[in-house]
Amino acid sequence: MRISFEIVVLLAALSGRTLVLPPEQVMYLLQPKPGDKRQGRRQYTDYYNLTDNIDLLRHVPIISAEEFLHLEGGEDGLVPLTGYNDTWTKHLYTVSTSCEERKKSDVFCEDLYDHYASHGLVGPITSEVKYANCLVFDENVFLNGNNQIDKLAPDVQKRIKAFCGDKRYPVYYNMTMHDTPVWHFETRDLDHRLLVHFYSILFFTDGKVEISTSDLQGTSFDITMKSFVQQERLYLHCNMKIASSLEQTIPWLILIQSWLAAIHRYM
């Protein structure tokens, strides 16, 4: 979970999105103890400082699934519930507060995640061998389209090839991807896992990289970015299985260059 979460938070910072946390739930291998009033249900905020870390929140606004659905579930929202009957609408609101990763459950998490996926883009990168790829950030491709890929300088193509290797294919961050209001990272799905460190799956072609270290429990989160695009509402939603060996801090080695800073985009 930790390295997947690093990738998702970094992508939120790079693309200027708001991070939407998954609903509270019983986490993998972390079963409830006797007398636990929350019955084992936990949230990322129980383990990581995601609410009081001002430096982090300045770059990555973070909201709950319940807040997101109330904000964007209306007729003019990014994930409208208007196509459902009252029963299913109430069901999704209930799931957004607390859910279970069990198909027979009355609050099955995937019901909400399927709704997200139907209104946005499922995360375009994966570390799984069968579909493994790498996400390439190139300014010219971003601004002028994928038809610029074959026109990249030979040395740039060589560097991309060396980074991605023979078993991964490059996916280029483009305007279509950037303008998609909602990204949904379904990393529980075997085809969409992100079990690699961000520095081995995100590649920047211009070489203008600034390195900063920090952690989610600390107070520093130093990011330097230049703005390409200004947008209003974009989200990134993450759904990740959390292992029992949760670390209390997440070390950050932020690789940021002259890339994207926009307002209130969602993941």
Q: Partners of 238 in the beta sheet?
A: 185
**Token couple for 203:** 């590649």
Give the integer Cα–Cα distance in Å for 12 and 184: 12
Rg of the chain over Cα atoms, rounded to whole angstroms, equals: 19
- Residue among 13, 8, 121, 106 at smallest CA distance from 57: 13
Give the integer Cα–Cα distance in Å for 84 and 33: 37
**What local confidence, expressed as pLDDT, does residue 214 receive?**
43
**What local confidence, expressed as pLDDT, does residue 16 receive?**
81
For 134, the enclosing helix (H) or strand (E) is strand 133-137
Give the integer Cα–Cα distance in Å for 267 and 211: 23
Give the integer Cα–Cα distance in Å for 161 and 4: 23
Band (267; pLDDT cuts 50, 70, 90) = low
Band (147; pLDDT cuts 50, 70, 90) = very high
* Range scoring the smallest mean pLDDT among 10-24, 37-51, 109-123, 192-206: 37-51
* Range scoring the smallest mean pLDDT among 18-22, 51-55, 122-126: 51-55
Band (221; pLDDT cuts 50, 70, 90) = very low
What's the rounded mean pLDDT across residues 21-32? 76
pTM of the model: 0.76
| pLDDT tens profile 34-66 | 877 777 677 777 666 777 778 778 878 888 899
**What local confidence, expressed as pLDDT, does residue 165 receive?**
93
Q: What are phi and psi of 28, to 5 degrees?
A: -50, 125
Average pLDDT over all residues of the chain: 75
**What local confidence, expressed as pLDDT, does residue 30 receive?**
67
Other Cβ atoms closer than 10 A to 158: 11
Residue with the bigger pLDDT between 56 and 265: it is 56
Band (87; pLDDT cuts 50, 70, 90) = very high
**What local confidence, expressed as pLDDT, does residue 258 receive?**
26
Helical pair 86-97 and 109-117, crossing angle rounded to 10 deg: 110
